[in-house]
A and B are shown apart, each in its own frame.
Chain A
Amino acid sequence: MLESLSPSFNYWIYVIIMMIGLYAMISKNNFVKKLIGMSIFQTAIILFYVSISVKEGSTIPILYHDQIHPEHGEHHEDGQGDHHQALDTLAKEHHDSHADHGDAAAGSHYPDLVIKPDDFSNPLPHVLMLTAIVVGVSTLGVGLAITQKLYGEFGSIEESEILDTIKSSND
């Protein structure tokens, strides 16, 4: 049982967290608690996206200096190193776009350089999630502002009390 779950446990965890959030959104009576549920719901999706980019034994997709100049990596001073690192990142991007077009050979600037995609985790889901986090925060902000307006108009943030107020004002 556990063995069959373990390779995909990240999916199980995100589904469980998402269902906790959905439960809070549906069943809670308090409007702020519903919004907390909504936040949990969105966070579960962020977890899902981030977890799909992870590989075992992989690292962040930045090339270190020694990887490019293994023999004279030590000779450089720190100031120059920074400059080179920026160049290396650029080169890496260059390589990536080549690799995607089926060209596995290394770029012209660094002929010895071999990049194995297995060594790096996929950065794209992280980038997407930066946007999703911004969206989530703004949704929460709008939700809280609306809750505040509800409190100003009905004097309560409990759903049942507000519905009672509306019912009694209709009669």
Chain B
Amino acid sequence: MIDQAPALILLIPFLASIIVALVGFRFRAVCYPLVLLGMAGSVWASIVTLLSVLEGGVIRYHLGGWEPPFGIELRIDGLNALVVVVVSSVSLLAAIYSKRTVLAENGDKVSQFYSLFLLLATGLLGMVLTGDAFNLYVLIEIAALTSYALIAMGPKRATLAAYKYVIMGTIGASFYLLGVGYLYIKTGSLNMVDIQEQLVARDLAGSPAIMVSFILITVGVWIKMAFFPLHAWLPNAYCFSPTTSSCILAPLVTKVMVYVMVRMMLTVYGAEYTFAHLEWSRIIVWMAVLAILAGSISALGQTNLRKMLSFLIIAEVGYMVGGVWLAEEMGMVGSIYHIISDAFMTLCVFLFAGIIISKTGKTDLNALDGMFKKMPLTMVGFLAGAFSLIGIPPTAGFFSKWYLIQGGINSGRWEYVVALLISSLINAVLFFRIIEIAYFGVKPAEGHDHHHSDGHDKISEAPLSQLIPLLGTGVLLLVIGLYNKDIVAVISDFLSSSNLGSGIR
């Protein structure tokens, strides 16, 4: 059973999704427990896998018993063992939250929604686990197709946003596919580790075809992760979708794509090719600086809570891309650590936004008027996420920024350090504005006639199914922050095994 854990991570939610699709439309009540069961099984399997990776090193699981260069393998090292635990537990927390919201927002499509939800989780987990470049393309498309449908289940504007996402997402995935094609022409292999061996053995570093494939794959992945000039699909898609969809999409999709970028750079092309041979680090860090500033400044102008958070995701993607491309070990550690912490803090604030929307029915910031009195526990959960996004110790966000800034200083990229600090300040402004509205109430000049207002006074604490994931995420943010040394040790182990040294200045 333990030996099969890597495959079970994928199979449990996948089978649960099929069962939900078959049984759910007749017996709506079984959907929610089945989803919880499926995701809990996946969390269990991923934790077992993480433990055995920590103990015995890299796991290579041959699907169907075919040997790696020919068959598809799941290859799990320190990096994706960590990320897979994050992905499965974020999906579990979002699933717990979904109990009431799915009934309220998509009451007529409960089984379809949950079936897609589990399939999305399967796709994302598969992207993290797989060791095969073409298999990764198929899993990217599985995750993408399900997320199009999950977004389009929202009201009016969501459908338009989903359409734009279909167009952009398809371009991104197709670029990736083309890049894999060029890699296949030159190396004759689709297995990630084998591609790297072939690149070295055949001395292909100077080949223009390999460079073209690198550009195509990188741009394709950037479109999918909403890196700044290619981000146009993201804000509306996450802002108008059903709240449960945004709770699983916003934390996971962009972070998993950042993971894919790191995997491509370090495992497939190798650090030496990416950093030493190409020498694009300078330009791309500047692009990341632009992404950070653009995301943060756009977030300042938003009055819609979820739209503001969506722009923050764009800034966070800038942090991670910049951190990876600093070509410096601390920056790389910071980026990978930020994948983990950002998944949880984005989940935390999106859960909070979902609770506010389902309680008040409003989406703008003024809906938070006086929330500290009405729902104190919810606000406590929110504070953990907000402090983490600002970067206040001892939350996870502080430590990831700490490592990223250290990386920026070590490599002498001051523009990146400055952008990170400005973005943290803007986050502080944004979240203290929310805290002010929630604590002191809306100023009479802004929120006129709010005194004799509607059902606002009847609002009370969120139900348990929504509070548990929110507070759980808040606690996890503190735990990840406090145990940062151990997590960083795992990441450093991974980096030292992927011969980073030769590519780093």
Report the Cα distance A132→B180, complex, angstroms.
13
Q: Which residue of A lies closest to B155 (CB)?
A: A153
Residues of A within 8 A of B69 (CB): 100
List which A19-67 residues lie within 8 A (CB) of chain B: 22, 25, 31, 34, 38, 41-42, 45, 48-49, 52
Q: Tell me whether A150 and B138 are in contact (CB under 8 A).
A: no
Asked if residues B157 and A146 are in contact (CB atoms below 8 Å), the reply is no
- Docked Cα-Cα span, A113 to B157, in Å, equals 64
Could you tell me the distance between the alpha carbons of A109 and B145 in the complex, rounded to whole angstroms?
47
Is the contact region of chain A dominated by helix, strand, or loop, or is it mixed?
A: helix
A132-B69 Cα distance, complex, nearest whole Å: 20
Q: B184 to A125, Cβ gap below 8 A?
A: yes
Q: Which residues of A contact B167 (CB under 8 A)?
A: 25, 34, 38, 143
**Is A149 positioned at the interface, with any CB of B under 8 Å from its CB?**
yes
Q: How many angstroms between the C-alpha atoms of A97 and B70 in the bound complex?
A: 9
Of B145, B157, B159, which is in contact with the most chain A CB atoms at under 10 Å from its CB?
B159
Whether A146 contacts B170 by the Cβ 8 Å rule is no
Interface residue tally for chain B (C-beta within 8 Å): 26
Q: Which of B9-17, B171-179, B283-291, B356-364 contacts A (4 or more CB under 8 A)?
A: B171-179
Distance to closest chain A CB from B301 (angstroms): 16
Interface 1/0s, chain B 148-179, versus A by CB < 8 A? 11001000110110110011001100100110
Q: Contact: A150 with B181, CB < 8 Å?
A: no
Residues of B within 8 A of A99 (CB): none
**B464 at interface by CB-CB < 8 Å:** no
In the complex formed, the residue of A with least CB distance to B149 is: A142
Residue on B nearest A149 in the bound complex, by CB: B159
Let me know if A22 and B163 touch, CB within 8 A: no
Residue of B nearest to A97 (CB): B70
Residue pair B181, A49 in contact (C-beta under 8 Å) = yes
Asked whether any CB of chain A lies closer than 8 Å to the CB of B141, the reply is yes
Contact of B184 with A142 in the complex, beta carbons under 8 Å: no
- Name A52's closest neighbour in chain B (CB-CB): B185
Query: Which A residues touch B149, using CB under 8 A?
Result: 142
Evaluate whether A150 and B159 lie within 8 angstroms (CB atoms) in the complex, with A45-B178, A49-B181, A135-B141 already known: yes
Residue A139 interfacial (CB < 8 Å): yes
Residue of A whose beta carbon sits closest to that of B146: A142
Docked complex Cα distance between A153 and B177 (Å): 34
- In angstroms, Cα B159 to Cα A154, docked, is 10
Which single member of B145, B148, B178 contacts A48 (CB below 8 Å)?
B178
- 0 or 1 for each of B333-355: is its CB under 8 Å from A? (1 = yes): 00000000000000000000000
Q: How far is the CB of A135 from chain B (nearest CB, A)?
A: 5
Q: Is the CB of B399 closer than 8 A to any CB of chain A? A: no
Which chain A residue lies CB-closest to B153?
A149
Within the assembled complex, what's the spacing in Å between the Cα atoms of A149 and B156? 9
A150, B160: Cβ atoms under 8 Å? yes
Q: Decide yes or no whether A85 CB sits under 8 A from chain B.
A: no
Q: Any chain B CB within 8 A of the CB of A121?
A: no
List of A residues within 8 angstroms of B145 by Cβ = 135, 138-139, 142
Q: From residue B423, how far is it (CB to closest CB) to chain A in Å?
A: 29
Whether B171 and A166, one on each chain, are in contact in the complex, defined by CB atoms closer than 8 angstroms, is no
Task: Give the complex CA separation of A100 and B69 in angstroms.
Answer: 10
Which residues from chain A contact B162 at a C-beta distance below 8 Å? 146
**Inter-subunit contact A146/B148 (CB<8 Å):** yes
| Residues of A74-93 contacting chain B, CB below 8 A | none
Whether B160 lies near A131 (C-beta < 8 A) is: no
- Interface residue A16 (Cβ < 8 Å from any Cβ of B): no
Q: How far is the CB of A99 from chain B (nearest CB, A)?
A: 12
Residue of B nearest to A14 (CB): B178
Q: Is the CB of B134 closer than 8 A to any CB of chain A?
A: yes
By a CB distance below 8 angstroms, the chain B residues around A131 are 134, 138
In this complex, what residue of A is CB-closest to B138? A131
Query: Within the assembled complex, what's the spacing in Å between the Cα atoms of A49 and B174?
Result: 12
Q: Which of A125, A135, A138 has the most CB of B within 10 A?
A: A135
Please determine whether A135 and B156 come into contact, CB atoms closer than 8 angstroms.
no
Interface string of B114-157 (1 = CB under 8 A from A): 00000000000000000000100110010001001100100011
Query: Complex: how many Å from CA A128 to CA B69?
Result: 15
User: Among the listed A34, A45, A145, A146, which residue makes an inter-chain contact with B177, where contact means beta carbons less than 8 Å apart?
Assistant: A45
A68 lies within 8 A of chain B by Cβ: no
B185 and A41 within 8 A (CB): no
- Please give, as numbers and ranges, the residues of chain A lying within 8 Å of B159 by CB-CB distance: 146, 149-150, 153
Closest CB of chain B to A91's CB: distance in Å? 17
**Contact flags B427-443 to A (C-beta < 8 A → 1, else 0):** 00000000000000000
Most B CB contacts (10 A, CB to CB) among A31, A146, A154 go to A146
Shortest distance from the beta carbon of A98 to any chain B beta carbon, whole Å: 12
Given contacts A138-B145, A150-B159, A154-B156, contact A25 B70 (CB under 8 A): no
Whether A106 sits at the interface, judged by CB under 8 Å, is: no
Q: A142-B148, A150-B163, A153-B156 are in contact. Are A132 and B177 (CB under 8 A)?
A: yes
- Complex Cα gap A139–B149 (Å): 11
A166 proximity list for chain B (CB < 8 A): 157, 160
Task: State A146–B162 Cα separation when bound (angstroms).
Answer: 8
Given known A-B contacts A138-B145, A146-B148, A154-B156, A41 and B166 have beta carbons under 8 A apart: no
CB distance from B213 to the nearest CB of A (A): 12
Q: Which residues of B contact A128 (CB under 8 A)?
A: 134
CB contacts (< 8 Å) of B163 on chain A: these are: 31, 143, 146-147, 150
A162 adjacent to B138 (CB under 8 Å): no
A41–B169 Cα gap in the complex (Å)? 13
The smallest C-beta distance from A36 to any residue of chain B, in angstroms, reads 12
Please indicate the chain B residues that have their CB under 8 angstroms from the CB of A34 in the complex: 167
Known contacts A34-B167, A149-B152, A166-B157; A52 and B181 CB within 8 A of each other: yes
User: Besides A45-B177, A149-B152, 8 other CB < 8 A contacts?
Assistant: A31-B163, A52-B184, A97-B70, A100-B69, A142-B149, A146-B166, A149-B159, A166-B160
Could you list 28 examples of A-B contacts with CB < 8 Å?
A: A22-B171, A25-B167, A34-B167, A38-B166, A38-B170, A41-B170, A42-B174, A45-B177, A48-B178, A97-B70, A100-B69, A125-B181, A132-B177, A138-B141, A139-B141, A139-B166, A139-B170, A142-B145, A142-B166, A143-B148, A143-B163, A146-B152, A146-B162, A147-B163, A149-B152, A150-B163, A162-B160, A166-B160
**What are the 8 A-B residue pairs with the smallest beta carbon separation, nearest first?**
A135-B141, A143-B166, A149-B159, A146-B152, A146-B163, A153-B156, A150-B159, A142-B148
